[in-house]
Amino acid sequence: MRDFRLSVPANLLLVGEYAVTEKGGFGIALAAQPRLLATVSPAASPRIEGIMGSMSFSWDPESGKEPPTLVAACLAACRAASASHNSATGASRNSAACFGPTAGPGPWPFAPARVVIDSTAFFDPDGSKRGLGSSAATAVALVASLLALGGIEGEDLRLATYPLAIAAHRNFQGGRGSGYDVAASCFGGLGLFTGGAAPSWEALGGGAPGRRLSPAALPRLALFRGPRAVVSPEAVSRYQAWRLAHPEAFRDFLAASQTGALALADASSPVEALEALRQAAQRGLELGIAIGVPAGFEMQAGDEGTGGGPIHSRSVIKALGAGNELGLIASVEALDLRNGGRIAGGRIAGGRIAGSGSIPDLEPLVLEPEGLRWE
């Protein structure tokens, strides 16, 4: 085999939190910088290594040790595909189950290689996650690396990777993952995600039929860190308990979320998109209160909203994901990142909107048009 490298972008869900876990639930997601890098090189025996900033791991099948949970899930998904390929007749090369002649039986049905997954850019120096979907990006990168070892190349690799990375990441999350994060990292760009056992991804901005939203129709976007980390499987468990206990409120929430996601998908200008994000922010606040997973940010007197709504009529602050771990600022006005993220006289400081304060960790959200790619 030859050396090769793959990269995978971060992923973010703009609207559709929790609804994407439902069959047919809509969400608008996107791929963003930074990118995770997978490096694969020949080796006498197989080894998988992970680099997460100041943290790292190394595992090989001959060690007798259990692999990290996500690695185990990716290996299991690929082994199942390999077994399906070996038992089927006439399997096509893009069936997500193609393994080369050097693949062997047992726990590693691939050519022996050293696989290094470097997700350092997804972590802060202290080792904490930045909320950019590192586990889903890792699942895409590792599954793709293993399939590439089996001989899958080009566009076939992306198509083969998607369902197996979905299965692996769901396994890793205890069966609760929607898959929007895997889809965004795998396909890149901006897309309408539809949840379910076999979720779908409709690319936006590239002539998608009936959908007007494109990167040019988005307002200016920037990210900031929220007050605390959120464990997504726990948050989804709270949501599922709430939906069973309050079926009427759940139906109202889902209907509003579906309408709101399509409103954003149909937005043709930053002003229209901003209004859709404003309404999504309010829905997120209300649902967060209902399920006990905060989706807002503390605000000081003199600013509108309660932490998830508008800063003023031309800007919105919204939580992303399952809680308030990561905040989004959307504005149709310029975001002066060099001056503490000023917006209409306000300033983001430690997750709060204040009249003054220290320069925050505020960074522009940069869309990545490409998903999984060869480097």
Domains, in order of start, for the chain = 4-204 (3.30.230.10), 215-364 (3.30.70.890)
Q: Which residues of the chain have pLDDT under 50?
A: 86-105, 299-311, 339-359
Q: Which residues contact 132 (CB under 8 A, 6 or more apart)?
A: 10, 11, 12, 32, 34, 122, 326
Q: Torsion over CA of 371, 190, 215 and 280, rounded to 10 degrees? A: -140
Return the pLDDT at 30: 97
Alpha-carbon distance of 77 to 150, in angstroms, equals 14
Return the pLDDT at 324: 87
Return the pLDDT at 315: 85
Return the pLDDT at 346: 44
**What does each C-alpha distance from 184 to 112, 134, 140, 190, 228 come to in angstroms?**
29, 12, 10, 7, 24
As a whole number of angstroms, the longest Cα–Cα distance in the chain is: 68
Q: Which residues contact 114 (CB under 8 A, 6 or more apart)?
A: 40, 41, 42, 43, 46, 47, 49
Return the pLDDT at 102: 40
**What does each C-alpha distance from 282 to 137, 189, 211, 287 come to in angstroms?**
29, 25, 24, 9
Return the pLDDT at 356: 36
Return the pLDDT at 228: 75
Structure tokens belonging to residue 54: 């100041």
Q: Which residues contact 296 (CB under 8 A, 6 or more apart)?
A: 285, 288, 306, 307, 308, 319, 324
Return the pLDDT at 207: 57
Return the pLDDT at 233: 82
Alpha-carbon distance of 134 to 141, in angstroms, equals 10
Planar angle of CA 295, 300, 302, nearest 5 degrees: 120
